[in-house]
Amino acid sequence: MNSNFLTLASKIQVEEIYAELGTTEDKIKNDVEAIMEWTRKQPHLPNLEGQKQKVKSFLLACKNSIEKTKQKIENHYTIKTLLTYLTRIELTNQFIDKMNECYVAIPLPILTNDANRITLIHLKTGDMTKFSYSNYSKCVLMSLDIRSSKLDNNKKEILISDMKNYTISHFTAHLPHINNIILCLMEGFAFRLQSIHLLNVPSFGVSVINLFLNKINKKHTTKIYFHKEVDELKNYIDPAILPTNYGGTFPKTSEELMDDWKNEMLRHRDWFEDNNKLLVDEKKRVKKSSYTFDSVDGSFRKLEID
């Protein structure tokens, strides 16, 4: 692990995660190697020799199931290839400038007592002329990808989404992409969801959120909380973790943390360039994929997440 930004799970917390999943460090090493050997026999998959940490993260997110991990890896690189407009991260000066101007999408530095990582997202401005759905999504996905691949060792994910600067136009801009972003997140990335906290949801946004909720398994709607006041977060999250503008005592605002996280991403610019090259080669695929260009634009089955 190599992060100047994130506080990682302690040895005790890691052991607790392993115990809950019924595994050990030695077993994980053996399982990862078994999965790596499987990837070497899949001619359409990219060369994953430098991706053992990511494979390990996928294995833990799949609750130590080798077969589910294989499927998740297959999904990840296939969907990553199909949805490059969401998954290809190029840290150009233009992208960085837009990110600084418009978006906050940060993993908070301190883990919860249960070793869960909190991600906070919100718009810096309600100016729709500055908004790009793909760039906003990339800010979230780039964080998730590099954390699972290189920087983090958390247990589950907690998301806080503040919609205080959302207009009707922002919600409308989401509509063409709902299927793709859910497919990307829930089938293309491996993580365990603890909870989602939605702040300042305007009345005109409820129908779009309900459309999103209808795409995921009903049992997970119990993990989603709506809050009218920022102070309500303190009932679920230790204030020591939250930035000062979200009622916390962590000594920075979310915008200041975004500046720090941006610098962390720039430290790993080479990693993102290399990661962009890890795509499937459909010409070499032996077995037909579950996903095609038609499926990413159309409807698909409701998704199971854990």
Domains of the chain: 1-306 (3.40.525.10)
pLDDT at 304: 36
Neighbour-count burial for 157-190, b at 16+ CB within 10 Å, e otherwise? bbbbbbbeebbeebbebbeebebbbbbbbbbbbb
Average pLDDT for 275-280: 97
Q: For residues 1 and 117, is the Cβ–Cβ distance under 8 A? A: no
Q: For residues 282 and 44, is the Cβ–Cβ distance under 8 A? A: yes
pLDDT at 289: 65
Average pLDDT for 107-124: 97
pLDDT tens digit string along 77-114?
999 999 999 999 999 999 999 999 999 999 999 999 99
**Whether the predicted pLDDT of 292 surpasses 70:** no
Instruction: Return the number of other C-beta atoms located less than 10 Å from residue 264's C-beta.
Output: 19
pLDDT above 90 covers a percentage of the chain that reads 83
pLDDT at 290: 64
**Whether the predicted pLDDT of 281 surpasses 50:** yes
This prediction's pTM? 0.92
Q: Which of 251, 298, 262, 224 is nearest to 97 (CA)?
A: 262
**Whether the predicted pLDDT of 8 surpasses 60:** yes
pLDDT at 2: 72
Cβ contacts of 282-286, under 8 Å, gap ≥ 24 = 282/44, 282/81, 283/44, 284/43, 284/44, 285/43, 285/44, 286/42, 286/43, 286/44
pLDDT at 236: 95
Q: For residues 159 and 117, is the Cβ–Cβ distance under 8 A? A: no
pLDDT tens digit string along 217-229?
777 778 999 998 9
**Whether the predicted pLDDT of 306 surpasses 90:** no
**Whether the predicted pLDDT of 138 surpasses 90:** yes
Average pLDDT for 277-298: 73
Tell me how far CA of residue 12 lies from CA of 8, 25, 113, 163, in angstroms. 11, 13, 11, 36
Look up residue 302 and give its two tokens.
């409701």
pLDDT tens digit string along 157-215?
999 999 999 999 999 999 999 999 989 988 899 899 999 999 999 999 998 998 888 88
